[in-house]
């Protein structure tokens, strides 16, 4: 029986009004990779914050037993001294400083008043090599990509002589290639005896690296699954634990699919880059969407899908537009104005809800009414009661988890924020909805709820364009799929004919000088 | 967010005003009507010079930080993976 | 239990509490001088421009921390034009006012266009005005007058923007003023309680009877106090009407109109506002056009009070307006702040200014105090940003 390095026993943590952790138990063996999974708000990050000392001893009940000793951390430094190092989701690097300066921030080599930079940089280089980075530690952080910055964070943790490494959503801002590299790095660390806890939403990663999986839901430990078997644990098995019900269908069934006439048609649509006018970001695209239909647009990063959607939406992105737009059979020349597009019943739901979708400093109520203020006001005077009622209506309809619609959107979880964003556009009563990555960064349960909303929209006769980089999502939700690559539409398939393989084949075959 | 930059410029304006106050205090050193002793004047000038320059540096830093924030979203594009 | 509630209430209305404390501080320092009827009048007359410019500055800052550095210098320039129209050329008051407003609109249109459509950063665009307008105004004044200032302005102009409404001699209690105060007080109590009743009827949350009584009680008491003091000093100052008018109109605009809402979201997240169909460029344009018009109105009150146009008029006006906003809780990054906050900020600064001149504080020390107030406001803003992170 392998030695248990860490045991968290009966941990309970209460915040005013809410019990975040309720008698949570966790056991991590030395040298294993232990995955913590659960929906947003289940308590995973809170548990790790208790472990690392961010919530100091005295603010929680229960015991942390590390290396056989009961621990009473009063801050992060205490836990780091024992080799427990946590790497948070948001990178904590200062872009202007060099890698070396970042790695030893607060931890400098040398005396208090005379930092030994030579030693700092040579030590830093040592750790950089360990994580597979070839850059010199004298390089400024902002010059390297996000994937490499994440590795710098790990190197920083190694420099603190980590024995138990906690990674909170380490691949959330990485692409496929960098994610795989990071996971392989974790496996190589494991061979050297490092113990790791990984918190992640990506279940395929869990199957790949984890030895044991602990599922947390609503602040309690549900179960711990062993992944040592011959076959890695299936994603369905993990989802079942997380969500508490059989999710045989990750995607809800479409009831009463009734596809009507063509609502929106775009022909020979070409758009040029706003800063480099010779470059085409959308090249001779022709697509159409019918009433009650869900049309998926799939493509790799940079394929031009967002540019396509935004350029249709009142030319809000790009320059040098050409092509025709037909709404309901009639030719329409939209002015360069988002308000005009909204008037023509088109809605664009951005992929970056925090950056340009929602006003985080305002309430749910204000955000919900934003695209259609005229409906709740008479002659520019806002009817506060009507606005409140509308916000309440959408809160119930979309099941937004919040005590009140006066709550600031910035305080909501990702899934609920996305719901508010959808509510805003639904309130604008469009006929065509362009959804750009609507379930990005959202946990499994909330994703399902959003899929249901999409299906309801289609059932109500709206046209839904679903732009997504998740192949299973596109396959599971669409009636018809367009495939876009390098600014062109390179394929169109009906849902019944589409599979992961033949979609990828279309992309590979269409690549220019790949 | 453009707000970071405008906030930085507002703080910069405040910093410049503090330095302007120093200038005014300095200009009044020969004024016979003032009750402020030279010693006190120097203390306040020094105080506001330090505060003004400190605030100016902070404002410049905030400006640069919001500029790199503008560049960050480009890095986030890596998120679009195949899965 | 009540102690905690009181502390929480104090925290929420921190600026109001600070204002009261500072007032009490000066009450002691001036040995009651600041409580005299003439002080109340002086506070309103001396400070009117801060409230009016503050309202304009608030709208600009809401769009994202944008400011107008030129308003002080523009007051000087407009004052010079006004002097030329009314004193040198002898044009009628009405015509002159119209012309001056037109000039203000012209400036606002040009400035708004440069900021909103040519995308020149506001502080650069208005800095040009700050540097150029005072020189221009001074040149006009010296060309038209040996003393470098133009005076006096026609009586009917002064009566429009200075003096008293329904004046009585000092020593005679001004009943119209007092009755006006009573009316306003009753109005406040009425509005607070009917709003509460309506909210409860529709099923929303509302303040308890105690809180409503407290709020409306304090508000009415304050109004009655102020109006009584003014009544003892000869009646309602005309500037008070202008200030009250501006404050009420802009309170309404910011809290209840779609345009006001647009200002808040443009400052909160300009891209999100744009993608939601808000014409962000038009909002920026309007912010600066509006500022120019309000600057014109402020100019009228200022030159009517000083009864002359001179070269130094308007010095520091922009900093006073910005300070009033920042002290009053208007966020330096935009998207947050209220007219009420600005009013409290302006009042605080006004009390400090008046207090300092009542105790005849040396000009240098007054500058030092102003510097400290600005520093405190900046530190407060930086710390609240840090806490939000």
Per residue in C86-118, pLDDT tens? 888 888 888 999 999 999 999 999 999 999 999
Better-scored residue on pLDDT, C377 or A426:
A426
User: In the structure, what pLDDT confidence band is assigned to residue A507 with cuts at 50, 70 and 90?
Assistant: confident
Within-domain flag for B28: yes
User: In the structure, what pLDDT confidence band is assigned to residue B80 with cuts at 50, 70 and 90?
Assistant: very low
The residue range of the domain holding B53 is: 2-68
Structure tokens at A317: 């992105």
* Contact between chains at B78 and A204 (C-beta distance less than 8 A): no
Give 3-state DSSP helix, strand, coil % of chain A, rounded to 5.
35, 30, 35
Residue with tokens 């942390």: A64
Mean pLDDT, chain A, as a whole number? 85
Residue C131: predicted pLDDT: 92
- For residue range C4-23, what is the model confidence (pLDDT) as tens digits? 767 766 666 777 888 888 88
Residue A132: predicted pLDDT: 80
Residue B81: predicted pLDDT: 22
Residue B2: predicted pLDDT: 42
* Contact between chains at C257 and A339 (C-beta distance less than 8 A): no
Residue B73: predicted pLDDT: 38
| Strand ranges, E, within B1-83 | none
Better-scored residue on pLDDT, A23 or A235:
A23
- For residue range A274-320, what is the model confidence (pLDDT) as tens digits? 888 888 889 999 999 999 999 999 987 778 888 999 999 988 888 88
* Contact between chains at B41 and C270 (C-beta distance less than 8 A): no
Nearest CA-CA distance, residue B58 and chain A, Å: 15
Better-scored residue on pLDDT, A19 or A107:
A19
Residue A1: predicted pLDDT: 53
User: Phi, psi (5° rounding) for residue C220?
Assistant: -65, -40
Within-domain flag for C353: yes
Q: Per-residue pLDDT averaged across A245-252, rounded?
A: 65
Residue A245: predicted pLDDT: 57
A309, A339, A359: which to substitute to probe chain C, counting the most C Cβ within 10 Å?
A: A359
Checking if the pLDDT of A185 tops 50, the result is yes
CB burial of C297-329 (b: ≥16 within 10 Å; e: otherwise) equals: bbbbbbbbbbebbbbebbeebbbbbbbbbbbbb
Separation of CA A96 from chain center = 26
* Contact between chains at C322 and B13 (C-beta distance less than 8 A): yes
Residue A373: predicted pLDDT: 92
Q: Which of A451, A452, A444 is nearest to A215 (CA)?
A: A444
CB burial of C203-238 (b: ≥16 within 10 Å; e: otherwise) equals: eeeeeeeeebeeebeebbeebbebbbbbbbbbbbbb
Residue with tokens 């202007």: A96
Nearest CA-CA distance, residue B83 and chain C, Å: 28
The residue range of the domain holding C313 is: 49-167+258-388
User: In the structure, what pLDDT confidence band is assigned to residue A41 with cuts at 50, 70 and 90?
Assistant: low
What's the rounded Cα separation, in Å, for the pair A172 and B75?
Answer: 12
User: In the structure, what pLDDT confidence band is assigned to residue B71 with cuts at 50, 70 and 90?
Assistant: very low
Which chain C residues touch A424 with a CB distance below 8 Å? Answer: 276
Percent of chain A whose pLDDT exceeds 90: 24
Percent of chain C whose pLDDT exceeds 90: 39
Q: Give whole-number Cα distances, A179 to A101, A124, A209, A501, C366, in Å.
A: 25, 23, 12, 22, 61
Would you say A157 and A102 are in contact if contact means Cβ atoms under 8 Å apart? no
Q: How many CB atoms lie within 10 A of CB C382?
A: 16
Residue C185: burial class (beta carbons within 10 Å; 0-12, 13-18, 19+): buried
Checking if the pLDDT of A513 tops 50, the result is no
Q: Per-residue pLDDT averaged across A431-438, rounded?
A: 93
Residue A248: predicted pLDDT: 57
What's the rounded Cα separation, in Å, for the pair B51 and B59?
Answer: 12
Give 3-state DSSP helix, strand, coil % of chain B, rounded to 5.
85, 0, 15
- For residue range C244-254, what is the model confidence (pLDDT) as tens digits? 999 999 999 99
Partner residue opposite B78 with nearest CB, options A175, A440, A472: A175
Q: Give the lowest-confidence range in A91-95, A108-112, A419-423, C253-257.
A: A108-112
User: In the structure, what pLDDT confidence band is assigned to residue C68 with cuts at 50, 70 and 90?
Assistant: very high
* Contact between chains at A359 and C265 (C-beta distance less than 8 A): yes
Within-domain flag for B83: no
Residue A329: burial class (beta carbons within 10 Å; 0-12, 13-18, 19+): exposed
Query: Model-level pTM greater than 0.80?
Result: no
- For residue range C296-341, what is the model confidence (pLDDT) as tens digits? 999 999 999 988 888 889 888 998 898 888 888 777 666 778 898 8
Beta strand pairing status for A463-468 and A294-299? parallel
Q: Which of A320, A256, A285, A316 is nearest to A436 (CA)?
A: A316
Which chain B residues touch A174 with a CB distance below 8 Å? Answer: 78-79, 81
User: In the structure, what pLDDT confidence band is assigned to residue B82 with cuts at 50, 70 and 90?
Assistant: very low
Chains that touch A (3 or more CB pairs under 8 A): B, C
The CATH classification number of A260-345+432-440+462-514 equals 3.40.50.300
Partner residue opposite C258 with nearest CB, options A342, A355, A373: A373
- For residue range A383-433, what is the model confidence (pLDDT) as tens digits? 888 899 999 999 999 988 888 888 889 888 888 899 999 999 999 999 999
Checking if the pLDDT of C265 tops 50, the result is yes
Within-domain flag for C32: no
Q: How many CB atoms lie within 10 A of CB C167?
A: 17
- The answer, for B2 touching chain A at a CB cutoff of 8 Å, is no
Percent of chain C whose pLDDT exceeds 70: 95
Residue B70: predicted pLDDT: 52
Angle formed by the axes of helices C209-232 and C175-202, to 10°? 170
* Contact between chains at A175 and B73 (C-beta distance less than 8 A): no
Within-domain flag for C5: no
| Strand ranges, E, within chain C | 164-165, 236-237
Q: Which of C49, C29, C38 is nearest to C352 (CA)?
A: C29
Q: Give the lowest-confidence range in A335-349, B2-16, C288-302.
A: B2-16
Within-domain flag for C317: yes
The total domain count for chain B is: 1
Nearest CA-CA distance, residue C28 and chain A, Å: 41
Q: Per-residue pLDDT averaged across B35-52, rounded?
A: 84
* Contact between chains at B82 and A174 (C-beta distance less than 8 A): no
Would you say A165 and A195 are in contact if contact means Cβ atoms under 8 Å apart? yes
Mean pLDDT, chain B, as a whole number? 70
The CATH classification number of A4-243 equals 3.40.50.300
- Sheet hosting strand A319-327, strand order edge to edge: A280-290, A262-272, A319-327, A330-332
Residue A112: predicted pLDDT: 60
Residue C385: predicted pLDDT: 67
Checking if the pLDDT of A351 tops 80, the result is yes
What's the rounded Cα separation, in Å, for the pair A361 and C89?
Answer: 53
Which chain C residues touch B28 with a CB distance below 8 Å? Answer: 363-364
For chain B, first and last CA: distance in Å? Answer: 30
* Contact between chains at A469 and B80 (C-beta distance less than 8 A): yes
Residue C204: predicted pLDDT: 72
Region(s) of chain A under CATH 3.40.50.300:
4-243, 260-345+432-440+462-514
Checking if the pLDDT of C63 tops 80, the result is yes
Chains that touch C (3 or more CB pairs under 8 A): A, B
The total domain count for chain C is: 1
User: In the structure, what pLDDT confidence band is assigned to residue A349 with cuts at 50, 70 and 90?
Assistant: very high
Within-domain flag for C28: no
Q: Which chain C residues touch A if contact means CB-CB below 8 Å?
A: 202, 204, 256-259, 261, 264-265, 268-269, 271-279, 335-336
CATH code for position C83: 1.10.3470
Q: Per-residue pLDDT averaged across B16-38, rounded?
A: 79
Give the DSSP H or E segment for A326: strand A319-327
* ipTM rounded to 2 decimals: 0.86
User: In the structure, what pLDDT confidence band is assigned to residue B44 with cuts at 50, 70 and 90?
Assistant: confident
CB burial of B17-30 (b: ≥16 within 10 Å; e: otherwise) equals: bbbbbbebbeebee
Which chain C residues touch B55 with a CB distance below 8 Å? Answer: 378
Q: Give the lowest-confidence range in A229-233, A311-315, C122-126, C222-226.
A: A229-233
Partner residue opposite A176 with nearest CB, options B64, B68, B83: B83
Which chain B residues touch A352 with a CB distance below 8 Å? Answer: 73
């Amino acid at each position: 029986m392998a030695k248990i390095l860490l045991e968290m026993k009966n941990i309970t943590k209460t915040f005013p009004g809410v019990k975040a952790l309720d008698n949570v138990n966790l056991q991590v063996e030395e040298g294993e990779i232990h995955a913590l999974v659960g929906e947003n708000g289940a308590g995973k990050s809170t548990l790790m914050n208790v472990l690392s000392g961010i919530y100091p001893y005295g603010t929680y009940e229960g015991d942390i037993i590390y290396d056989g000793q009961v621990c009473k951390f009063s801050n992060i430094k205490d836990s780091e001294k024992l080799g427990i190092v946590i790497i948070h989701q948001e990178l904590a690097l200062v872009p202007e400083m060099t890698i070396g300066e970042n790695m030893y921030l607060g931890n400098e080599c040398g005396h208090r008043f005379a930092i030994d930079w030579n030693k700092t940089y040579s030590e830093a280089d040592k750790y950089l090599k360990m994580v597979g980075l070839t850059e010199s530690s004298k390089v400024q952080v902002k010059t390297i990509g996000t994937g490499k910055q994440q590795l710098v964070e790990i190197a920083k943790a190694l420099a603190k002589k980590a024995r138990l490494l906690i990674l909170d959503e380490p691949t959330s801002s990485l692409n496929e290639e960098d994610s795989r590299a990071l996971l392989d790095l974790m496996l190589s660390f494991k061979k050297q005896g490092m113990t790791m806890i990984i918190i992640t939403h990506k279940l395929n990663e869990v199957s790949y690296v984890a030895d044991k999986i602990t599922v947390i839901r609503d602040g309690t430990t549900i179960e711990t699954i062993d992944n040592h078997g011959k076959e890695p644990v299936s994603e369905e098995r993990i989802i079942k634990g997380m969500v508490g019900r059989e999710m045989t269908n990750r995607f809800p069934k479409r009831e009463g699919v009734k596809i009507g006439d063509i609502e929106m048609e775009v022909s020979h649509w070409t758009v040029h880059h706003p800063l480099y006018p010779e470059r085409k970001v959308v090249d001779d695209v022709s697509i159409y969407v019918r009433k009650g239909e869900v049309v998926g647009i799939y493509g790799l990063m940079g394929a031009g899908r967002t540019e396509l959607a935004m350029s249709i939406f009142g030319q809000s992105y790009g320059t040098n537009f050409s092509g025709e737009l037909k709404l309901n059979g009639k030719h329409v020349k939209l002015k360069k104005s988002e308000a005009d597009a909204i008037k023509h019943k088109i809605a664009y739901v951005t992929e970056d809800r925090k950056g340009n979708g929602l006003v985080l400093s305002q309430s749910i109520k204000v955000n919900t009414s934003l695209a259609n203020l005229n409906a709740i006001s008479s002659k520019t005077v806002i009817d506060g009661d009507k606005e409140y009622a509308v916000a309440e209506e959408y809160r119930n309809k979309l099941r937004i988890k919040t005590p009140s619609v006066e709550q600031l959107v910035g305080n909501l979880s990702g899934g609920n924020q996305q719901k508010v964003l959808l509510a805003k556009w639904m309130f604008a009563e469009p006929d065509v909805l362009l959804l750009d990555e609507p379930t990005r960064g959202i946990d499994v349960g909330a994703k399902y709820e959003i899929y249901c909303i999409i299906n309801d929209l289609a059932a109500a006769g709206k046209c839904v364009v679903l732009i997504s980089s998740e192949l299973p999502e596109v396959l599971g939700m669409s009636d018809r799929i367009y495939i876009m690559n390098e600014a062109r539409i390179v394929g169109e398939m009906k849902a019944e004919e589409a599979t992961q393989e033949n979609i990828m084949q279309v992309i590979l075959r269409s690549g220019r000088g790949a | 967010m453009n707000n970071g930059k405008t906030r930085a410029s507002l703080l910069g304006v405040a910093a410049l005003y503090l330095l302007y106050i120093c200038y005014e205090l300095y200009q009044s050193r020969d004024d016979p009507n003032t009750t402020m002793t030279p010693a006190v004047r120097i203390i306040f000038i020094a105080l506001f010079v330090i505060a003004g320059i400190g605030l100016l540096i902070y404002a410049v830093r905030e400006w640069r930080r919001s500029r790199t924030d503008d560049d960050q979203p480009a890095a986030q594009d890596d998120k679009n993976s195949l899965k | 239990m009540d102690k905690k509630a009181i502390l929480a209430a104090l925290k929420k209305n921190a600026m109001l509490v600070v204002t009261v404390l500072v007032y009490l501080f000066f009450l002691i320092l001036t040995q009651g001088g600041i409580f005299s009827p003439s002080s109340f009048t002086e506070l309103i007359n001396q400070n009117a421009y801060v409230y009016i410019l503050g309202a304009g500055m608030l709208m600009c800052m809401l769009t994202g921390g944008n400011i107008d550095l030129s308003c002080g210098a523009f007051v000087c320039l407009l004052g010079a034009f006004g002097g030329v129209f009314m004193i040198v050329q002898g044009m009628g008051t009405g015509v002159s006012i119209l012309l001056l407003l037109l000039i203000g609109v012209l400036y606002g249109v040009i400035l708004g266009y440069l900021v909103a459509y040519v995308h020149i950063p506001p502080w650069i665009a208005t800095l040009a005005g700050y540097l150029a307008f005072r020189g221009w105004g001074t040149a006009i004044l010296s060309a038209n007058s040996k003393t470098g200032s133009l005076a006096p302005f026609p009586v009917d102009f002064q009566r429009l923007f200075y003096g008293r409404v329904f004046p009585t001699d000092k020593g005679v209690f001004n009943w119209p003023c007092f009755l006006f105060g009573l009316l306003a007080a009753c109005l406040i109590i009425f509005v607070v309680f009917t709003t509460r009743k309506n909210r409860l009827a529709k099923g929303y949350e509302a303040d308890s009877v105690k809180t409503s009584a407290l709020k409306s009680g304090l508000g009415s008491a304050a109004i009655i106090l102020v109006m009584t003091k003014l009544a003892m000093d000869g009646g309602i100052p005309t500037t008070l009407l202008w200030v009250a008018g501006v404050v009420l109109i802009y309170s309404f605009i910011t809290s209840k109109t779609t345009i006001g809402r647009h200002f808040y979201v443009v400052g909160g997240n300009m891209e999100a506002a744009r993608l939601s169909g808000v014409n962000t460029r038009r909002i920026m344009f309007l912010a600066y056009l509006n500022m120019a018009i309000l600057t014109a109105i402020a100019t009228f009150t200022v030159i009517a009070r000083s009864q002359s146009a001179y070269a130094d008029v308007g010095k520091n006006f922009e900093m006073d307006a910005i300070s009033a906003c920042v002290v009053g809780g208007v966020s330096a990054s935009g998207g947050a702040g209220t007219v009420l906050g600005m009013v409290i900020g302006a009042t605080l600064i006004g009390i400090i200014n008046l207090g300092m001149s009542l105790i005849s504080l040396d000009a240098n020390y007054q500058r030092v105090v102003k510097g400290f107030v600005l520093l405190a406001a900046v530190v407060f803003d930086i710390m609240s940003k840090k806490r939000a992170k």
